[in-house]
Amino acid sequence: MENYVLITGASSGIGRDIAVTLSKTYPLILGGRNVERLEETRAMCTDSDKHIFWNYDLADVENIYDNLTAFIKNNELKVGGFVHSAGIWFVTTLNLVKLNDVQKMMNINFLSAVEILRSLVKRKTNAKNLKDVILVSSIAPFKSAKGEAFYAASKAAINVFARAMADELAPNTRVNTINPGIIHTPMMDNLLRDNEQFEKHKRTYLLGFGETEDVANMAEFLMSDKARRITGQHFVVDGGATIAI
């Protein structure tokens, strides 16, 4: 049997579309808190009965390692790929920021990926099976925006971590990030409902806002053997937003 790809955030938006796309090629471990929404994703996938759930709240970052390790051992899984798409986003000024909220965002966006990866590279758990890691980051670290400092910091942490891991885990495992600009998903719906913000952003999106499949296509390429010489890189999928003035 082919090795599994674990996808966090598989219950919605970008992670869901990555799951649907990768299900054509790999059996999947769909990660998320909400089983109903995971079921919806599974129903959209090719060969839906091949895919299984890892139902876990990543905010509980301290127990990720033990929980995932037990999950892999108990189900005798071989995990060949990891896509981290779980993430939260909020806007705040420095004046009003709550440390608790930032810590939660850091946990879900960044530290959960650390703990998952730590479990997946443990030889006693997953031998040398892990070949490909894709961390969904953002263009936020490349393009500053008022109110996004803390989100950008969590994504900058992901970028730097990916580069360091590409080095540390070579030649067995490749590690890359995908850095999307604004993509139509539930996460962005609120922002796009605000006309002023919408117009401001729209001007810099030379090719318009993205769709989840634009990110899924990049993930499909990076997960494949066609990307076998690529590691430690950031792949910007933003319709030109970072280069526009």
Ligand X SMILES: NC(=O)c1ccc[n+]([C@@H]2O[C@H](COP(=O)([O-])OP(=O)(O)OC[C@H]3O[C@@H](n4cnc5c(N)ncnc54)[C@H](OP(=O)(O)O)[C@@H]3O)[C@@H](O)[C@H]2O)c1
Residues at the site binding other proteins, with contacts judged by CB under 8 A: 91-93, 95-96, 146-147, 193-197
Min dist CB 42 to ligand X, Å, is 13
Q: Does 141 bind ligand X (CB under 6 A)?
A: no
CA distance 192 to 182: 9
| Comparison of 40 and 194: residue with beta carbon closer to other proteins | 194
Between the CA of residue 241 and those of 182, 191, 234, what are the distances in Å? 9, 16, 15
Count of other CB atoms within 10 angstroms of residue 193 = 9
| Comparison of 128 and 193: residue with beta carbon closer to other proteins | 193
Task: Say which entry of ligand X, other proteins, none residue 103 contacts (CB below 5 to 8 A, set by partner kind).
Answer: none
Between the CA of residue 222 and those of 2, 124, 141, what are the distances in Å? 17, 26, 21
Min dist CB 103 to ligand X, Å, is 13
Q: Is 151 a catalytic site residue?
A: yes
CA distance 108 to 225: 29
Q: Does 9 bind ligand X (CB under 6 A)?
A: yes
The DSSP element (H or E) to which 115 belongs, if any, is helix 112-120
Binding residues for ligand X (CB under 6 A): 9, 11-15, 32-34, 37, 57-59, 85-89, 108, 136, 138, 180, 182-183, 185-188
| Residues with catalytic function | 151
